[in-house]
Amino acid sequence: MATGERPDLAELAGASTPLSLSRISEGTEISAHYNMVQVSLDVIFDHFCTRLEARLVASHRPPRG
């Protein structure tokens, strides 16, 4: 690239060649893994909130007597 010349957008993005099927497949695998991790975190967070809510409710009950 000469001085004063603007860089190519694909060159800046590091994709000077078109996406190959293997790169698309790799991206799909990463996306599927990310979704699986996200679902796992959602389940853990939901479980944590349910337990916390149960403890808060139990701690604010009037004493039996």
pLDDT 10s digits, 28-56: 888 888 899 999 999 999 999 999 999 99
> Per the domain annotation, does 11 fall within a domain?
no
> Per the domain annotation, does 50 fall within a domain?
yes
Report the number of distinct structural domains present in the chain.
1
> Per the domain annotation, does 31 fall within a domain?
yes
> Per the domain annotation, does 43 fall within a domain?
yes
DSSP state at residue 17: S
Mean pLDDT taken over the chain: 78
7 in Cβ contact with 1 (< 8 Å) = yes
Report which of residues 1 and 4 the model is more confident about: 4
> Per the domain annotation, does 51 fall within a domain?
yes
pTM here is 0.49
> Per the domain annotation, does 4 fall within a domain?
no
The C-alpha atoms of residue 24 and residue 58 are separated, in whole angstroms, by 51
